[in-house]
Amino acid sequence: MNDRMCVGVLCHPTYGGSGVVASELAISMARMGHEVHLFSHEVPPRLARSSGPVEMHVARGVPYPLFTSTPHDLAVTSKVLEIHRQRGFDILHAHYALPHAVSAFLAREASRSYTEHPPPKVITTLHGTDITLVGNDPAYAPLTEHVLRASDAITAVSHDLAARTKEAFCQSALSCPVEVVPNFVDINAFAPSSEPRRSVPTFVHVSNFRSVKRVPWLVRAFALAAKGTNAQLVLVGDGPDQPEARRVANEGGVQEQVTFLGERDILPSLLAPMTAFCLTSREESFGLSALEAMSCGTPVISTDVGGVSEVVEDGVSGILCAADDLEGYARAMRGVIDDRERAEEMGLAARERAVGTFAREAVIPRYEALYRRVLGKHP
């Protein structure tokens, strides 16, 4: 039996968790000798700067006056079907139930009469909002339930998300148990810097500036914490809440202490020199950017939501605060400003946590084993 698998990965081309994890997984599997194809309507940033042997397929929908938006999902489905006809996928791995698992199943069903290759197995990895916000919405819930029923395997990035999936779609509606496979980090790429940290206390936040990330809320907390200090806040990313965040910075009198860097890939050079990484989400199934900061030896201050507590150990590798306690979050930030030694201790523990539990080398084999199990190549 040939041990080399042909895998198609479907994902969003984002700087966020799902796009990063899907890209890094594809690169790792390809370097392990498998044939890996990645499908999206743009090249994901992590794949763009990789030299890994992944075959990238950009599938963009065609604009047409009849459409209110460009149907990229249909273009991705069509491209998956085309490449399956040529190569014969063993596995289609969809990151996000909607739309990518739907695209995978459409391609699989079409392939039954379109190609001589047997239909591929479909694995759906849940990342969070595909269940907690979008997938559970009445407009999409029946379709989400269908792909969960039809999947050959389902994974979730945290125990919290697995539990919420079972709560939203009872276990009897699922095709199989939800297996927890956490996000992972390249501990060699995301490593502590040999250079000293910034002498000025500096916090960093990375997100897409959607309302669920609560960037204006973070700026309010920083304005309280930074009173009478020269502390800095660096905001990486862009999105709908950026104008509001700028307005809050101006109102709080900290506009000169808050830097908006715009959208860019997360690099260790953005994380390692910082005093602490700030996560203020109202919903967060895992928090990959926080894990990357931890791997760089930077402690995390986060709201205690979703699966974050599975990553950040409160009082050890970071500080967890109640989601609605603005003043409590500000106190945590101020504590880091005033006690840099404690921040350094938490940073060391954060690095140890990342290396010991979430290293890429520990997690990728779990996905490979899952692929083989689904294909019946392992007992």
**What pLDDT was estimated at residue 172?**
63
**What pLDDT was estimated at residue 48?**
74
The verdict on residue 352 lying in a domain is yes
CA distance 304 to 21: 22
Asked if residue 102 and residue 207 are part of one domain, the reply reads: no
Asked if residue 230 and residue 328 are part of one domain, the reply reads: yes
**What pLDDT was estimated at residue 1?**
40
Asked if residue 206 and residue 130 are part of one domain, the reply reads: no
pLDDT tens, 246-264?
Answer: 999 999 999 999 999 998 8
Q: Which residues contact 142 (CB under 8 A, 6 or more apart)?
A: none
**Number of domains making up the chain:** 2
The verdict on residue 195 lying in a domain is no
Asked if residue 251 and residue 120 are part of one domain, the reply reads: no
Asked if residue 114 and residue 82 are part of one domain, the reply reads: yes
The verdict on residue 191 lying in a domain is no
Nearest to 250 by CA among 260, 238, 240, 236: 260
| Residue recorded with tokens 């970071």 | 318
pLDDT tens, 200-240?
Answer: 999 999 999 999 999 999 999 999 999 999 999 999 999 99
Residue 167: count other Cβ atoms within 10 Å of its Cβ: 11
Asked if residue 76 and residue 225 are part of one domain, the reply reads: no
Q: What is the DSSP string of 22-85?
A: HHHHHHHHHHTT-EEEEEESS--HHHHT--S--EEEE--PPP-TT-SS--HHHHHHHHHHHHHH
**What pLDDT was estimated at residue 205?**
97
Q: What is the CATH number of the domain that holds 113?
A: 3.40.50.2000
What predicted TM-score, i.e. pTM, was given to this entire model? 0.92
The verdict on residue 197 lying in a domain is no
- Domain residues for 212? 202-357
CA distance 82 to 76: 10
Strands in 91-95's sheet, in edge-to-edge order, are 55-58, 35-40, 6-10, 91-95, 121-126, 153-156, 178-180
Low-confidence ranges of the chain (pLDDT < 70): 1-2, 49-52, 171-173, 175, 377-379
The verdict on residue 347 lying in a domain is yes
